[in-house]
């Protein structure tokens, strides 16, 4: 399907570290939300023949640390545009020896170790309990596995991400502990981003790129995590990440319906809350 300029943007993309733009010459919009401004202006353009709404998670100049990202504003703004399928990219550390730098992981589980973040839209007026046993959408994950598989890159078709508070990286003892508790990768932003999307009826797939072996270099890699290493390796991986995102976007069915456990009227109550000028 080729989307016209007036077609709704039912697909969203959130770019992680290193992915700060997706379209050329696309118009930017500052969308007012009940939760303040979004991380960056949202651009709407055409990708893979589909209308796509894009924002960059850390801001255009990578100015927002993980605990300061306005997750609720970002997700609310995308939902207000009609987004139902969300493709995200992330930099992660590998917590196992076989999840080596240069590997892609299509995440299927997460463990939330963050603190103090606004993690729900239903903290006033109405209580909703989200069923989040499987937080990532299986249909979108299948598209991502196929897209990355066609590029012949090292790939795990599943993985558990441990989401830490940041912005500091783990101590060596923490890294060992996260691995012992079943983590495959480590990240700072998948929570509350993914559960918030689920609350507003948006299905999510995450493409994680392993940039380092976190703090535990005894896993067999001599590349303990550093900010410089993460950004350098992400820059090298951008062509694959962009190609995979475009392939996933192109493959989303026109009639895609995410799994959601929140009633439509509850979602509409959130989407009609007064915005902050």
Instruction: Spell out where 30-114 has E strands.
Output: 42-47, 50-56, 85-94, 104-106, 109-112
What is the 8-class DSSP label of residue 179?
H
> For the range 231-239, what are the long-range contacts, defined as Cβ-Cβ under 8 Å and sequence gap of 24 or more?
231/17, 231/18, 233/91, 233/101, 233/102, 233/209, 234/16, 234/17, 234/18, 234/19, 234/91, 234/209, 235/18, 237/18, 237/102, 237/209, 238/18, 238/19
What would the two tokens of residue 223 be? 């590349």
User: Rounded CA gap, 129 and 113, in Å?
Assistant: 19
Please give the Cα distance from 277 to 44 (Å, whole number).
21
Do residues 23 and 43 make contact, with C-beta atoms less than 8 angstroms apart?
A: yes
Q: Cα separation of 32 and 209, whole Å?
A: 31
Catalytic residues: 212, 214
Structure tokens at 167: 């912005």
8 Å CB contact between 78 and 199? no
Secondary structure of residue 176 in the 3-state scheme: helix
* CA-atom Rg of the chain in angstroms: 18
């Amino acid at each position: 399907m080729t989307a016209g300029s007036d077609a709704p943007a039912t697909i969203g993309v959130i770019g992680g570290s290193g992915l700060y733009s997706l379209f050329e010459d696309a118009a930017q919009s500052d969308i007012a939300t009940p939760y303040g401004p979004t991380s960056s202006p949202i651009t709407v353009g055409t990708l893979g023949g589909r209308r796509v709404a894009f924002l960059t998670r850390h801001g255009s100049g990578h100015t927002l640390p993980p605990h300061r990202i306005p997750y609720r504003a970002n997700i609310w703004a995308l939902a207000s545009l009609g987004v139902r399928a969300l493709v995200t990219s992330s930099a992660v550390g590998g917590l196992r020896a076989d999840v080596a730098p240069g590997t892609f992981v299509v995440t299927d589980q997460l463990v939330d170790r963050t603190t103090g973040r606004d993690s729900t839209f239903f903290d006033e007026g109405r209580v909703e309990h989200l069923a989040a046993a499987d937080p990532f959408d299986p249909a979108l994950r299948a598209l991502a596995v196929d897209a990355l598989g066609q590029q012949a890159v090292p790939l795990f078709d599943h993985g558990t991400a441990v989401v830490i508070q940041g912005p500091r990286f783990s101590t060596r003892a923490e890294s060992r502990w996260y691995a012992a508790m079943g983590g495959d990768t480590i990240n700072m932003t998948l929570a509350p981003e993914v559960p918030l999307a689920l609350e507003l009826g948006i299905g999510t797939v995450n493409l994680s790129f392993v940039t380092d072996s976190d703090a535990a270099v005894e896993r067999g890699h001599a590349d303990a995590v550093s900010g410089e290493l993460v950004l350098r390796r992400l820059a090298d991986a951008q062509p694959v990440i962009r190609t995979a995102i475009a392939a996933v976007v192109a493959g989303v069915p026109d009639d895609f319906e995410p799994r959601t456990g929140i009633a439509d009227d509850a979602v509409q109550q959130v989407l009609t809350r007064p915005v902050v000028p």
